[in-house]
A and B are shown apart, each in its own frame.
Chain A
Amino acid sequence: DSGVTQTPKHLITATGQRVTLRCSPRSGDLSVYWYQQSLDQGLQFLIQYYNGEERAKGNILERFSAQQFPDLHSELNLSSLELGDSALYFCASSAVAGGAGELFFGEGSRLTVL
């Protein structure tokens, strides 16, 4: 158990809909990262937050947004969903910024868009 909790584990929805994925980082970790894993794109970095502030942005679509709350949990919002958004979405956390600490990953949220 990595200590990173993601909900829901599975989600099935229709095109055009909006969903919210939730992540609770390991106790004490200030950084949260979101990754998308799909068969054709592999693991793609989406966005990173550190202590409530956005730190880095990757290949995140404009239809997607995220935030990190004061209690350090994070939410990834996906809107106007398309079939191609079906993927496994991972949240990861790491300890204090800097250095080369490893990321700890949650079990993922599997999104299926029909």
Chain B
Amino acid sequence: AQSVAQPEDQVNVAEGNPLTVKCTYSVSGNPYLFWYVQYPNRGLQFLLKYITGDNLVKGSYGFEAEFNKSQTSFHLKKPSALVSDSALYFCAVRDPTGGYNKLIFGAGTRLAVHP
């Protein structure tokens, strides 16, 4: 079965420091991977995706993610964190079994950026 794991419930980082939010996946076939962000009382917003090609994917708001096939990971990164980046982050993988573009989400990681 397809699955995504986000091993950290919360990540704390000081403003201006680099941040990493971890994600590992398990999927049959080639993985299609996504990162979404959820601000309080809002829906999920798409940040970036990996389909194929360059292992480093750039997305919205200065975020990027690194795909590592051997480690089955897709970690979200940002060189310099902002307080406004504080939110709930979800990693997701496309489930190739039936349906179109159905996504399986991880449990989410709460990012707290401190001034």
- B8-47 contacts to A, CB under 8 A, are 32, 34, 36, 41-46
Residues of A with C-beta under 8 A to B101: 31, 94, 97-101, 103
Residues of B in contact (CB 8 Å), total: 25
Judge whether A42 and B105 touch: CB under 8 Å.
yes
CB distance from A54 to the nearest CB of B (A): 9
Name B43's contact: one of A4, A33, A100, A101 (CB within 8 Å).
A4
Judge whether B102 and A48 touch: CB under 8 Å.
yes
Residues of B with C-beta under 8 A to A105: 36, 43-45
Judge whether A103 and B46 touch: CB under 8 Å.
yes
Among A90, A101, A107, the most chain B Cβ lie within 10 Å of the Cβ of A101
Judge whether A45 and B102 touch: CB under 8 Å.
yes
Residues of B with C-beta under 8 A to A94: 100-101
Name A108's contact: one of B34, B43, B100 (CB within 8 Å).
B43
A84-114 to B contact mask, C-beta < 8 Å, 1/0: 0000001010100111111111111000000
> B115 interface residue, CB < 8 Å from A?
no
**In the assembly, what is the distance between CA of A45 and CA of B98, in Å?**
13
- B68-115 contacts to A, CB under 8 A, are 90, 94-95, 98-108
**In the assembly, what is the distance between CA of A97 and CA of B96, in Å?**
12
Judge whether A56 and B43 touch: CB under 8 Å.
no
Question: Can you pick out 6 interface pairs between chain A and chain B where the beta carbons lie within 8 Å of each other?
Answer: A33-B103, A48-B99, A58-B102, A90-B44, A100-B49, A105-B44
